[in-house]
Chains A and B, each alone.
Chain A
Amino acid sequence: MSSSQSKKSQSTKRVVSRRRFLADMAGTACGVGLFGLGIGVYSQSANAIKSLAIRPPGALAEKEFLSACTRCGICVRDCPYDILKLAEVGDGVATGTPYFIARTDPCEMCEDIPCIPNCPTGALDHSLTDINKSNMGTAVLIDQETCIAFLGLRCEVCFNVCPVRGEAITLDMRHNDRSGRHAMFIPVVHSDACTGCGLCEKACILENESAIKVLPTHLAKADFAQHYRLGWDEAKKAGKSLIKTTDEHKYNLPDGVRYDHHGEGLITDEGGNPVINLPSKKEPETLPKKSNPLDTLNNGIQEAK
Chain B
Amino acid sequence: MAKLEVGKEAIEKKGWWRAYKWLILRRASQLGILGLFMIIPICKMLNPEGDCALGWIIKGNLSSSKLFDAIPMTDPLLFLQMIASGFTSIAIEAVIGAVIILVFYFLVGGRVFCSWVCPVNMVTDAAFWLRQKLGLNGVGTRFTRNVRYWMLGMILVLSAVTGSLAYELVNPVSMLHRGLFFGMSLGWIVIAAVFIFDLFITKRGWCTHICPMGAFYGLVGKASPLKVRADARDKCNDCGDCYAVCPEAQILKPILKGEKKGILPVISAGECTNCGRCIDVCGEEVFEFGNRYKR
> Which A residues form the contact surface with B (CB < 8 A)?
24, 28-29, 31-33, 35-36, 39-40, 42-44, 46-47, 63-64, 66-74, 76-78, 85-86, 88-90, 94-96, 118-122, 126
Contacts and interface: CB of A to CB of B under 8 A. Distances in A.
17 contacts: A28-B146, A40-B162, A42-B166, A42-B170, A67-B86, A67-B164, A72-B65, A73-B178, A85-B183, A89-B175, A89-B187, A94-B169, A96-B63, A96-B178, A121-B91, A122-B91, A126-B91
B158 A36 contact: yes
A73 B60 contact: yes
Contact of B169 (A29, A35, A43): A43
B87 A44 contact: no
B169 A42 contact: yes
A95 B172 CA distance: 11
Contacts of B81: 67
A116 B146 CA distance: 40
A70 B66 CA distance: 13
Contact of A95 (B158, B159, B169): B169
Contact of B82 (A29, A74, A121): A121
A70 B63 contact: yes
B169 A120 contact: no
Given A29-B150, A32-B151, A94-B169, A67 B87 contact: yes
Contacts of A90: 185-186
Interface stretch (B6-14, B71-79, B223-231, B243-251): B71-79
A78 to B, nearest CB: 8
Given A67-B86, A122-B89, A122-B91, A73 B61 contact: yes
A30 to B, nearest CB: 10
Given A40-B166, A73-B178, 11 more contacts: A28-B147, A32-B154, A63-B164, A66-B164, A67-B164, A68-B82, A77-B59, A78-B59, A94-B164, A118-B59, A118-B66
B167 interface: yes
Nearest to B167: A39
Contacts of B164: 43, 47, 63, 66-67, 94
Given A72-B64, A118-B66, A88 B185 contact: yes
A66 to B, nearest CB: 4
A31 B147 contact: yes
Given A28-B150, A73-B181, A95 B64 contact: no
B90 A122 contact: yes
Interface of B: 40-41, 56, 59-61, 63-66, 69, 72, 74-75, 78, 81-82, 85-87, 89-91, 93-94, 97, 143-144, 146-147, 150-151, 154-155, 157-159, 161-170, 174-175, 178-179, 181-187, 189-190
Contacts of B61: 71-73
Nearest to A69: B165
Contacts of A94: 164, 168-169
A interface majority secondary structure: helix
List of 4 A-B pairs having minimum Cβ-Cβ separation, nearest first: A72-B64, A122-B91, A67-B85, A66-B164
B42 to A, nearest CB: 13
A96 B174 contact: yes
A121 B86 contact: no
Contact of B183 (A46, A78, A88): A88
B190 A89 contact: yes
B175 A96 contact: yes
Contacts of B174: 71, 96
B182 A73 contact: yes
Tell which of A33, A36, A67 has the most Cβ of chain B within 10 Å.
Answer: A67
A120 B92 CA distance: 8
Nearest to B152: A32
A249 to B, nearest CB: 53
B182 A76 contact: yes
Contact of B166 (A43, A119, A126): A43
Contacts of B75: 70
A227 B164 CA distance: 34
Given A40-B158, A68-B87, A88-B185, A77 B147 contact: no
B59 A44 contact: no
Contacts of B89: 122
Contacts of B72: 120
B64 A74 contact: yes
A124 to B, nearest CB: 10
Nearest to A91: B186
A49 B11 CA distance: 59
Tell which of A44, A95, A122 has the most Cβ of chain B within 10 Å.
Answer: A95
B12 to A, nearest CB: 43
A86 B170 contact: no
B5 to A, nearest CB: 35
Contact of A86 (B167, B182, B186): B182
A77 B63 contact: no
Contacts of A88: 179, 183-187
